[in-house]
Amino acid sequence: MRHSRILGIGHYVPPRVLTNHDLEALMDTSDEWIRQRTGIEERRVVEPGVPTSELAFQAAQNALAHAQVEAKDVDLIVVATLSPDYYFPGVGVLLQDRLGAREIPALDIRQQCSGFVYGLSIADQYIRTGTYERVLVVGAEVQSAGLDYTTRGRDLAVIFGDGAAAVVLGPSEEPGVISVHLHSQGKYFDMLWLEKPGSQSAPTITAHDLEEGRHFPHMEGQTVFKHATRRFAEAIHEVLSHNGTKVEDIDLFFFHQANLRIIDAISKMIGIPPEKSFNNLQRYGNTTAASIPLCMSEAVEQGRLQRGQLVCPVAFGSGFTWGSALIRW
Ligand code: UT7
């Protein structure tokens, strides 16, 4: 039986730090509010003009080096992002070119905060079926270019950060990716969304839309919070019961880094002790598709995540989309 496993991982964050105190100078907010409501202390932001594909490239190179795989040996690129360089074409093809990869397929996927778990599933399926040998999955975001750093946009501007992380997957006799479980519920598409530009109107964006700030993301924070808590818990129960595993069997949980209050609430609900989850949103905020692999990559760097351990990534985000996985590292 052919399985897939993660051969290597890497990340990249831009060097510029934007602290809660820096935000206080831009909008009516406070370090205390942001810490209490989210757990975030600072986030990284690019210098203006640095695109998502650049962060994706840096992270991909680090992951390839860690996996000891050359770019020319990659068979498929999957990029998860909600902040592509262009409306089209996607970041995947830009990355194919930057890496100097062969003329391989390059996908962009649009599952926001669940993007990495969805990407993992795609890579796993292509490898299991024997279609491809080496798949690069990248989560990359430049959120800062599209946020409203005024009091009007403060609910989202304080949460999101820029960053990227990538994994390289390859075939294995023993299961690495053991199972992946994916869900969506489009009914709530406008609870966390970016309305404009979009093909539901012609032209796709107007001067009036810009005045009204419709080109900035919008979130119904409390509704998303409520659904996130429920779906995170369901996704963990699903992956554990599917595999006949218990919380005690898992070495580390990797939650999508949306809000420390959500992670704490679920951990209490399910009985996950604090030492079994790896969080870094204090330093990076919510980096959407990059958040889970960014945690995993830092956990590897710090020696917290080691070969042979059993880990559970779990995500929820815009769409709504959510999912979980069980991985033997
Ligand atoms: O990544 C995908 C999944 N995302 C999530 O799961 C995020 C889920 N939602 C959340 O994490 C939280 O809803 C937030 C952190 C976004 C907001 O926290 P909250 O405790 O739900 O606050 P709220 O939206 O109920 O707002 C409370 C107050 C409001 O003022 P009033 O109406 O009580 O006077 C807001 O206007 O806080 C105000 N507020 C702020 N104050 C200072 C909103 N944003 C800010 C801010 N600084 N940045």
Task: State residue 269's pLDDT score.
Answer: 95
Do 138 and 216 lie in a common domain?
no
Given its phi and psi angles, is residue 39 left (phi above 0), alpha (psi -120 to 50 degrees) or beta?
Answer: left
Distances (CA, A) of 30 to 33, 157, 172, 218: 5, 13, 49, 20
Which of 143, 174, 205 terminates a domain? The answer is 174
Question: 235-279: per-residue pLDDT in tens?
Answer: 999 999 999 999 999 999 999 999 999 999 999 999 999 999 999
* Residue 223: both structure tokens together: 């509704």
Do 169 and 218 lie in a common domain?
no
Measured in angstroms, how far is the CA atom of residue 181 from the centroid of ligand 1?
29
Do 293 and 314 lie in a common domain?
yes
pLDDT over 70 for what percent of the chain? 100
Closest residue to atom 21 of ligand 1, CA basis: 222
Q: What is the mean pLDDT of residues 156-172?
A: 98
Task: State residue 120's pLDDT score.
Answer: 98
Do 60 and 145 lie in a common domain?
yes
Task: State residue 179's pLDDT score.
Answer: 98
Do 169 and 241 lie in a common domain?
no
How many domains is the chain partitioned into structurally?
Answer: 2
Q: Give CA angle at 286 (188, 312), nearest 5°.
A: 85
| Residue/partner pairs of 46-52 with CB below 8 Å, 24 or more apart | 46/14, 46/16, 46/142, 46/144, 46/145, 46/162, 47/14, 47/16, 48/145, 50/14, 50/142, 51/85, 51/142, 52/81, 52/83, 52/84, 52/85, 52/91, 52/140, 52/141, 52/142, 52/164
CB of 158 closer than 6 A to ligand 1? yes
Measured in angstroms, how far is the CA atom of residue 91 from the centroid of ligand 1?
31
Measured in angstroms, how far is the CA atom of residue 155 from the centroid of ligand 1?
5
Q: How confident is the model at residue 311 (pLDDT cuts 50, 70, 90)?
A: very high
Do 23 and 88 lie in a common domain?
yes
Do 52 and 166 lie in a common domain?
yes
CB of 149 closer than 6 A to ligand 1? no
Residue pointed to by tokens 């107007």 = 206
User: What is d(CA 189, CA 252) in angstroms, rounded to the nearest whole number?
Assistant: 31
For residue 102, the enclosing domain spans: 3-174
Which of 174, 196, 212 terminates a domain? The answer is 174
Q: What is the mean pLDDT of residues 62-74?
A: 98
Q: How confident is the model at residue 5 (pLDDT cuts 50, 70, 90)?
A: very high
Q: What is the mean pLDDT of residues 168-192?
A: 98
Task: State residue 267's pLDDT score.
Answer: 97
CATH number where 14 lies = 3.40.47.10
What are the backbone angles phi and psi of residue 127, rounded to the nearest 5°? -80, -45
CB of 262 closer than 6 A to ligand 1? yes
> Over the range 215-224, which residues count as b (16 or more CB within 10 Å of their CB) and which as e?
ebbbbeeeeb
Closest residue to atom 17 of ligand 1, CA basis: 221
Do 138 and 202 lie in a common domain?
no
* Residue 314: both structure tokens together: 């779990």
Do 222 and 259 lie in a common domain?
yes
Do 157 and 208 lie in a common domain?
no
CB of 154 closer than 6 A to ligand 1? yes
Residue pointed to by tokens 């999957």 = 78
Task: State residue 192's pLDDT score.
Answer: 98
Instruction: Answer yes or no: are the C-beta atoms of 185 and 317 closer than 8 Å.
Output: no
Ligand 1 atom nearest to CA at 286: 1
Do 194 and 117 lie in a common domain?
no
Task: State residue 284's pLDDT score.
Answer: 98
Task: State residue 167's pLDDT score.
Answer: 98
Instruction: Answer yes or no: are the C-beta atoms of 99 and 60 closer than 8 Å.
Output: yes
List of residues 6+ apart from 226 with CB closer than 8 A: none
Q: What is the mean pLDDT of residues 60-83?
A: 98
Question: 220-235: per-residue pLDDT in tens?
Answer: 999 999 999 999 999 9
Do 240 and 291 lie in a common domain?
yes
Instruction: Answer yes or no: are the C-beta atoms of 297 and 9 closer than 8 Å.
Output: yes
Q: How confident is the model at residue 8 (pLDDT cuts 50, 70, 90)?
A: very high
CB of 33 closer than 6 A to ligand 1? yes
Q: What is the mean pLDDT of residues 28-38?
A: 98
CB of 23 closer than 6 A to ligand 1? no
Which of 174, 196, 225 terminates a domain? The answer is 174
Q: Which residues are catalytic?
A: 113, 256, 286
Q: Mean of the per-residue pLDDT values for the chain?
A: 98
